[in-house]
Amino acid sequence: MNPIDKVTDHTFTSSTKGLLTLSCVGLFHLVIGVKFTSSTISIPWLPEVELSHLDRLIYLYWLLVVYVCYRFVLYNLPVMRKYYFLSLGEYLKDTSGGSRFIQKHIYSDKLTHQVVVDINGSPLPEVKVEHYQDGGSGWEQMASFNFVFNREYKFIKILANENPAFTIDEISFIKSPQLELWGLKTIIDDDGDPENLTSKIASLKLRFKLLLPVLVVYLKTLVTTKEVFDLLVPLLLNFALLIYWLFSFINI
């Protein structure tokens, strides 16, 4: 198979093998240094061809890197999102930072909570932050704050509600300023009960306050889970090489 057939093959441009090949080529060029000794090539049954702008070959290479990375992301985005979903659940469920986040922005330090990561949720995957309390006739769910994703693990909405039969003043998400920070709007569900809904966290500060520690958990997953490691390391290598080349090009 010639090089043109190789790089245009479907499996090359959507696989980690293709990304690793490109990153190795980039490393050889940037670290070792590769120069052509001649600008002419010979093609069987045709006259000898001279390449007038051989120095521009590097631009074609980086364009190919961008194309392959983009196509790779398109094909593997559901898996990347899946591990972001799991990282969100792990942050809220298993870390002290996640617990403090829940106490400040969802419930309060006076209320207990549990986090349920429902990856096979019906109808959709959810990370649920729930509060249970004795309602007089046994333990009942008093409130739920759910991060809802679609089947490809793309974030869809936050759905928050409280038990309409009880009033709990310590729930933060139903009061200012947390209600406005989350951007929650009250709607009526199919049973006629009010619930709070948003498709995007309104406060940029709150958004990053949640995003950054989740990304830290995601990076931890990257180095401890072979599926994520094999998937993302070749992609990150190519991005790092591209950024290095761009800075080197700008400084020339």
Cα angle 30-69-238, degrees, rounded to a multiple of 5: 25
199 with 113, same domain? yes
Asked whether residue 26 is assigned to any structural domain, the reply reads yes
User: If pLDDT is split at 50, 70 and 90, which confidence band does 210 have?
Assistant: very high
147 with 44, same domain? no
103 with 59, same domain? no
Stated as kind and residue range, the H or E segment containing 127 is strand 126-134
User: If pLDDT is split at 50, 70 and 90, which confidence band does 127 have?
Assistant: very high
Asked whether residue 82 is assigned to any structural domain, the reply reads no
216: Cβ–Cβ under 8 A, 6 or more apart, which residues?
Answer: none
Asked whether residue 104 is assigned to any structural domain, the reply reads yes
Q: Is the pLDDT of residue 247 over 80?
A: yes
3-state SS of the chain is CCHHHHHHCHHHHCCHHHHHHHHHHHHHHHHHCCCCCCCEECCCCCCCEECCCHHHHHHHHHHHHHHHHHHHHHHHHHHHHHHHHHHHHHHHHHCHHHHHHHHHHCCCCCCCCEEEEECCCCCCCEEEEEEEEECCCCEEEEEEEEEEECCCCCEEEEEEEECCCCCCCCCCCCCCCHHHHHCCEEEECCCCCEEEEECCCCCHHHHHHHHHHHHHHHHHHHHHCHHHHHHHHHHHHHHHHHHHHHHHHHHC
Asked whether residue 62 is assigned to any structural domain, the reply reads yes
129 with 202, same domain? yes
- The residue among 52 and 215 whose pLDDT is bigger is 215
Asked whether residue 56 is assigned to any structural domain, the reply reads yes
- The residue among 36 and 177 whose pLDDT is bigger is 177
Stated as kind and residue range, the H or E segment containing 6 is helix 3-8
92 with 26, same domain? no
120 with 50, same domain? no
User: If pLDDT is split at 50, 70 and 90, which confidence band does 244 have?
Assistant: confident
**What is the distance between the alpha carbons of residues 192 and 43, in angstroms, rounded to a whole number?**
76
Give the per-residue pLDDT at 101. 97
Give the per-residue pLDDT at 242. 87
- The residue among 241 and 4 whose pLDDT is bigger is 241
Range name among 41-50, 81-90, 235-244 with the lowest pLDDT average: 41-50
94 with 204, same domain? yes
119 with 157, same domain? yes
Q: Which domain holds residue 7?
A: 3-75+225-251
Mean pLDDT of the chain: 85
99 with 183, same domain? yes
Written as six digits, the tokens of 37 are 């000794």
Asked whether residue 42 is assigned to any structural domain, the reply reads yes
Q: Is the pLDDT of residue 22 over 90?
A: no
194 with 118, same domain? yes
Global pTM reads: 0.82
SS3 142: strand
- The residue among 194 and 108 whose pLDDT is bigger is 108
Asked whether residue 59 is assigned to any structural domain, the reply reads yes
**What is the distance between the alpha carbons of residues 28 and 245, in angstroms, rounded to a whole number?**
13
Compute the average pLDDT of residues 55-70.
83
116 with 185, same domain? yes
Q: Is the pLDDT of residue 53 over 70?
A: no
Asked whether residue 217 is assigned to any structural domain, the reply reads no
Give the per-residue pLDDT at 38. 59
61 with 25, same domain? yes
Could you tell me the maximum CA-CA distance found in the chain, to the nearest angstrom? 92
pLDDT in tens, 79-120: 999 999 999 999 999 999 999 999 999 999 899 999 999 998
Q: How many domains in the chain? A: 2
